[in-house]
Chains A and B, each alone.
Chain A
Amino acid sequence: MAVEKFPVEASHIMMFARSVGDDNQIYYDDEYAKTTEPGTVIAPPTFAQSSAQFDPDYFLRPKIGEPWFGSGGQPTGITRSASGGGGGGGLHAEQHFEYHRHVKPGDVLTASVGPGKTWEKEGKRSGKLVFSETVTEYRDQNGELVITARGVGVRTERPVDQ
């Protein structure tokens, strides 16, 4: 996802760490963080994924005044085409991060998305699988590359058998 401005903030890092059940105080307490090797609060390893919050067009966030495919009075708020199982744009198959440095509060990142491969495979539990890859480069306020992320999404023909 392309993002023009992703301000890294301490409270967001705290909420993210809570959500992944990580009680390492480097994510919560700037006084404690001074005693650690990085010497500052840093973001947890998968925090870059929350750049979705700063993508104005992110399709998995309800937009004000627009229909939303989750349930309300009915099981879904939109009329959907019968395009494969999973709903909501498929499933996440792979995620890879390369850290050139660890981001910290005060950094303001951009994220640019480069072209990735697509390929198909026949799945045992979900019919035809269509994989698509995206490579995202996160750069800081000085234009330095801080994180390279590669994600692979998969769209299934039908819901995955359980």
Chain B
Amino acid sequence: MALKADDLNVGDTYSECLVEDLKRTQIVQYAGASGDYNPLHTDEIFTVEVAKYPSVFAHGMLTMGMTGGMLTNYVGDGRLTKYGVRFTSQVWPGDTLNSTATVESLQDGLVNLVVETTNQHGVKVLSGYAQARID
């Protein structure tokens, strides 16, 4: 399951589709599980009429959480040592997200990855890095 240093090369990539046609209900699920009940994510009336956004939008942490699933599928369970992101654009209901990890460097039993998640328009919504232990 875990990655082996001998099999990895700088520039290797691993990609997954994280979600197709993101549903508002999944955003509600994330609100309930994470405890972040900001109405910007679940309350269309508040978000449109008070906050002045076109609709509710996903928690950045939902995108980070979905991207984290791609990472653990790639590097194996319990192998991550670092994972950090910037949220570069909002994610809306109906979005389809694809995520890619690219091997940036290998050192002393660790792999450093560049992480990027984009929407169906090719707009980057998350950009970050991860580090994992390898065999």
Interface residues in chain A, defined as those with a beta carbon under 8 Å from any beta carbon in chain B: 12, 15-16, 18-22, 24, 26, 36-38, 42, 44-46, 49-53, 55, 58, 60-62, 69-71, 75-76, 80, 85-89, 91-99, 102, 150, 158-160, 162
Contacts and interface: CB of A to CB of B under 8 A. Distances in A.
Contact of A21 (B18, B46, B80): B18
B38 to A, nearest CB: 4
Given A22-B69, A42-B78, A60-B35, 19 more contacts: A12-B33, A15-B32, A22-B65, A24-B73, A36-B1, A37-B76, A44-B65, A45-B80, A58-B35, A61-B35, A62-B37, A70-B37, A75-B46, A86-B40, A87-B39, A88-B51, A96-B85, A102-B80, A158-B52
Interface of B: 1-2, 18-19, 26, 29-30, 32-40, 43, 45-47, 49-54, 59-62, 64-66, 68-69, 71-73, 76-87, 90
A57 to B, nearest CB: 12
Nearest to A59: B38
A159 B46 contact: no
A45 B72 contact: yes
Contacts of B81: 98-99
Given A19-B65, A20-B68, A37 B1 contact: yes
B22 to A, nearest CB: 9
A42 B53 CA distance: 37
A95 B60 contact: yes
14 contacts: A15-B32, A19-B34, A24-B72, A36-B77, A37-B78, A60-B36, A71-B39, A75-B45, A86-B40, A88-B38, A88-B40, A89-B38, A95-B64, A96-B83
Nearest to B46: A71
B33 A87 contact: no
Contacts of B61: 46, 49, 92, 95
A92 B59 contact: yes
Contact of A70 (B1, B39, B64, B80): B39
Contacts of B2: 37
Contact of A69 (B34, B46, B82): B46
Contacts of A162: 53-54
Contacts of A20: 30, 62, 65-66, 68-69
Contact of B77 (A18, A24, A91): A24
